[in-house]
Amino acid sequence: MLSSKAIETLTPLFEIIRNAKGKTISQIKQELNLERENMKKGASGLIVESLLGIKNNNNADADIPEIGCEVKILPLHYNTKGELKAKEPTQIQMINYFEVLGEQWETAKIRKKITLTFWIVYLAKKGSVSLHQNDYKIIDYFVDHPNEDKLVTLKKDWELIQDYIKRGLADKLSCSMGEYLEPKTKGANNQDKTDAPDGKGGKLRARRRAFYYKKNYTNTHIIPNIDRSKL
């Protein structure tokens, strides 16, 4: 259950998104008096930083550190079957191979990013047609506080990734791994590499990767809980 402090902190943000439901990015920019030529952020940056007034971060702390809450923006699309699904996996944080090597699940840095999450969802694509960013529409929000069953699966996925790193197989990690978490590549190309353990006390070079929520997670645990009335 959420603490009273978490509820008090999040309630004003709930109200902001409730008032934005059904509105397009273009309408939100107009209401915030953001000139298009000066608005260089993507939809996620606009929603999180400009609408909610939260500075998104890439460090180990959650976006709202006082309650340990991360803010995630989830683009949705209607697939060719007419089903509402996540458009893409959702990044959690970059993987530091040597840090993950020495961590225990109970105190792993990723735990600060997944314990409590304020999800904001918007429609970005219909079938094969991608909408212009100005036409993205805010749909709803959802607060995710993973129960023990979810955490067991997240732990299993994390330990699988950690085991590959321990065995010197960081460059063999794959997005097909895991049920809820995946180690997705980051960087400009396959030559964008960083140091990783070689499994023998030394190091090797491996593609940069980040922990991501798989679409299976958001399709299963986030999307079914949202209000679709503004669609």
Higher pLDDT, residue 130 or 75: 75
Per-residue model confidence (pLDDT) at position 177: 96
With a pLDDT cut of 70, the percent of the chain lying above it is 96
Higher pLDDT, residue 229 or 43: 229
Per-residue model confidence (pLDDT) at position 127: 75
- Dist. CA 207–CA 141, nearest whole Å: 34
Return the ∠ at Cα 161 (arms to 159 and 165), rounded to 5°: 110
Per-residue model confidence (pLDDT) at position 41: 60
Per-residue model confidence (pLDDT) at position 95: 97
Was domain 4-225 assigned CATH 3.40.50.12280?
Answer: no
Q: Kindly state the average pLDDT of the residues 83-111.
A: 96
Per-residue model confidence (pLDDT) at position 190: 82
Nearest one of 115, 159, 131 to 6, comparing CA atoms: 115
Predicted TM-score (pTM) of this structure: 0.93
Task: Indicate the average pLDDT of the chain.
Answer: 92
Nearest one of 142, 125, 126, 11 to 67, comparing CA atoms: 11
- Dist. CA 21–CA 44, nearest whole Å: 15
pLDDT digits (tens, 9 = 90+) for 170-190: 999 999 999 999 999 998 788
pLDDT digits (tens, 9 = 90+) for 16-52: 999 999 999 889 988 888 755 455 567 777 788 889 9
Higher pLDDT, residue 214 or 36: 214
DSSP codes of every residue in 80-117: TTS-EEESS-EEEEE--HHHHHT--GGG-TTHHHHSSE
Residue 29 to residues 15, 47, 77, 168, 212, Cα–Cα distance (Å): 18, 10, 22, 47, 29
Q: Which of 118-122, 167-171, 189-193, 196-200 has the lowest mean pLDDT?
A: 189-193
pLDDT digits (tens, 9 = 90+) for 50-88: 899 887 666 778 999 999 999 999 999 998 888 999 999
Tokens 């895991």 belong to residue:
178
Per-residue model confidence (pLDDT) at position 184: 97
Could you tell me the pLDDT band of residue 230, with boundaries at 50, 70 and 90? confident
Per-residue model confidence (pLDDT) at position 89: 97
- Dist. CA 21–CA 154, nearest whole Å: 30
Q: Kindly state the average pLDDT of the residues 133-151.
A: 95
Phi, psi of 213 (to 5 degrees): -70, 130
- Dist. CA 60–CA 213, nearest whole Å: 16
